[in-house]
Structure 1
């Protein structure tokens, strides 16, 4: 059996739009296709059934390969909270849990994104190896979401994404 541990990534972003618009961007397949993973022209599939037990799927095509992400919704509480699993079957059978909480502000809203990242251990790892892996996996995951959240912000605030 593969040994694993979990590290937690938390990111916050503010948006100059109502909570409902940001929540919709996480649950509407047509909108997800425009910002999640890369962008609309590489995302071949973007499906979402945002209800408890419903599923979501994205297939992103880059460099001649398909990258598939799937998950299941655990909590759907519009426009405040969404909890779902995130899994890329071609890389691992493990599913991370993602929580998106959206709080209204006087002007716009604040999103708190939390991902419980499953870290796979290699044989013979020490405590230090595990701690380093946690930091590395967290850093790589944060970098990916950082760029996606730039697109998400531009999309919900302006209606389109202009960065390459």
Structure 2
């Protein structure tokens, strides 16, 4: 059995669209293949069964390698809440839990995102090693989600993403 620790990443973003449009971007296959763990130009596979118990899969091809992200929908409450699992089986069998809450208001909506990140330990790690790994996983995840959320914002607000060159 693998020893693990967890850390929680929390992020909030504002979108100048209604909650329904933002919620749809999390579940609509044509939308997620453009921003969720992938880009339209590098996406090889997008499979999505957006119902509680349904699964999703994305395969992104970068740098000559395929990266596969998969998960299962645990809770879907349109247009305000989405909870699902996330894992990348090519790296390990550990599963993160992601929660997205969308709060509509008069000028668009706010999205509150949280991810419970499961971090594996190497044998013999000290508490210092664990704390370092938790910070690295948190920082790396935050950087990745920030890039994805920038693309998501462009997609829902303008209909397209200006991918970095």
Shared fold (TM-score, shorter chain, > 0.5): yes
Task: Look up the match of 2:163.
Answer: 163
Unpaired stretches in structure 1, ≥5 consecutive residues: none
- 1:1-164 aligned at under 5 Å gives the runs 1-164=1-164
Q: How many residues align?
A: 164
Contact 2:23 / 2:80 at 8 angstroms: preserved in 1?
yes
Measure how far apart 1:89 and its partner are.
Answer: 0.5
Measure how far apart 1:2 and its partner are.
Answer: 1.1
Q: What CA distance in whole angstroms lies between the structure 1 residues aligned with 2:120 and 2:31?
A: 32
Any idea what the Cα deviations from partners look like across 1:54-105, whole Å, max 9, x if unmatched?
0011000112211110000000101000000001010010110000000002
Q: What CA distance in whole angstroms lies between the structure 1 residues aligned with 2:35 and 2:99?
A: 18
Measure how far apart 1:120 and its partner are.
Answer: 0.5
Contact 2:38 / 2:59 at 8 angstroms: preserved in 1?
no
Measure how far apart 1:38 and its partner are.
Answer: 3.2
SS at match of 1:152: helix
Q: What CA distance in whole angstroms lies between the structure 2 residues aligned with 1:162 and 1:132?
A: 34
SS at match of 2:92: coil
Measure how far apart 1:145 and its partner are.
Answer: 0.6
Contact 2:10 / 2:113 at 8 angstroms: preserved in 1?
yes
Measure how far apart 1:126 and its partner are.
Answer: 1.5
SS at match of 2:135: helix
SS at match of 2:130: helix
Q: Hey, which bits of structure 1, 4+ residues long, moved more than 3 A?
A: none
What RMSD, in angstroms, separates the aligned Cα atoms of the two structures?
Answer: 0.8
TM-score normalised according to structure 2 size: 0.97
